[in-house]
Structure 1
Amino acid sequence: MTDTAVATRPPRVVATDAALALIDEIRAEHGEVMFHQSGGCCDGSSPMCYPLGGFRLGEGDILLGEVGGAPVYIGAAQGRAWAHTQLILDVVPGRGGMFSLDNGRERRFLTRGRVFTAAEQEALANPA
């Protein structure tokens, strides 16, 4: 990358307006929240929304960033598998995960992905 084409470090996780609105709705009822990007098991690969501190993080969990002021974590193995992808927290019709705070609202969080461009990948690999 040349000096004139320096890319800024892109966020690893972002949220749609619909996701931000649902976060605000849940926060009004439950207080501050956090997300953990599930790696499978009971609720597939759904992003799970918990009260802040309501999910016990493991040594292998990494902080991807924040959306709407809520921290978003992912397991290290899954984080490595998705390292080339920006995660986009969105909302779709349906039921949330069994233990997720979006359950019972007939809307649920969904993670979409966008592959980072070559310049973005370089910026992530070589932070200034």
Structure 2
Amino acid sequence: MMGTRLDAAVTVPGEEFSRVALTPEAVSLLRKLWARHGPLMFHQSGGCCDGSAPMCYPAGDFLTGDSDVLLGRFDLSVADGGGSGSASDGGSRLAADGGGSGSASDGGQPLEFWMSREQFSYWSHTHLTVDVVDGRGSGFSVEAPEGKRFLIRSTLMDWPV
């Protein structure tokens, strides 16, 4: 894996740390998909279709509700040429593919990462990193035609939750 991961802006009430991140490879593919499909979102479930793979949809195509938890927001815009930022900057920044990013407040819409509340209860002690591998995932996720699939790499958190 090249570069640095992009940590999501914190969205879980009462928490001060990011629960989810993107690899530079995931950021690169997401920018390509965003250009083709418009704003995107992730939903992580424990569903039957593709196990527990994160599913990427055009924003709003998957309806979220009280049974879901917003784990983080990512800013994938490329409005400036500057480096990387932190989750506390209002929407995380990353210099990937030779460009920087603007913030959600620049008019760019953040990519939201949602998880079913039931799945969150099982994964509450883990940090999730979205990565990309070769292979075909679910036909429901927008990366499927690319011959790529998103997957989750999880690590146990070493701080109290």
Question: Is TM-score (shorter-chain normalized) higher than 0.5?
Answer: yes
What is the DSSP-based 3-state SS (H/G/I as helix, E as strand, rest coil) of the residue aligned with 2:41? strand
**How many residues are paired up?**
113
1:10-66: CA deviations, max 9, x gaps?
A: 201101000011110100000000000121211111100000000011321010002
Cα distance between partner residues in 1 of 2:127 and 2:40: 21
CA RMSD in angstroms, aligned pairs only: 1.4
**Taking CA–CA contacts closer than 8 Å with sequence separation of 6 or more, which of the two structures ends up with the larger relative contact order?**
1
Task: Please say if 1:78 is aligned against 2:119.
Answer: yes
2:52 counterpart residue number: 45
Report the identity percentage: 43
- Which has the larger helix fraction? 1
Identify the residue that residue 24 of structure 1 maps to in structure 2.
Answer: 31
Structure with max Cα Rg: 1
User: Residues of 2 paired with 1:94 and 1:21: CA distance?
Assistant: 17
Partner of 2:105: none
Report which of the two has the higher share of strand: 1
- Please, which runs of 5 or more residues in structure 1 have no aligned partner? 1-7
Report the CA distance between 1:80 and its aligned residue: 1.0
d(CA) in 2 for partners of 1:16 and 1:105?
17
Out of 56, 67, 73, the position equivalent to 1:60 is 67
C-alpha contact 1:46 1:110 (8 A) present in aligned 2: yes
Q: Could you list the structure 1 runs, at least 4 aligned residues long, displaced by more than 2 angstroms after superposition.
A: none
Q: Provide the TM-score with structure 1 as the length reference.
A: 0.83
Q: What secondary structure does 2:143 align onto? A: coil
1:9 pairs with one of 5, 13, 16: 16
2:148 is aligned, of 95, 104, 107, to 107
> Normalization by structure 2: what TM-score?
0.66
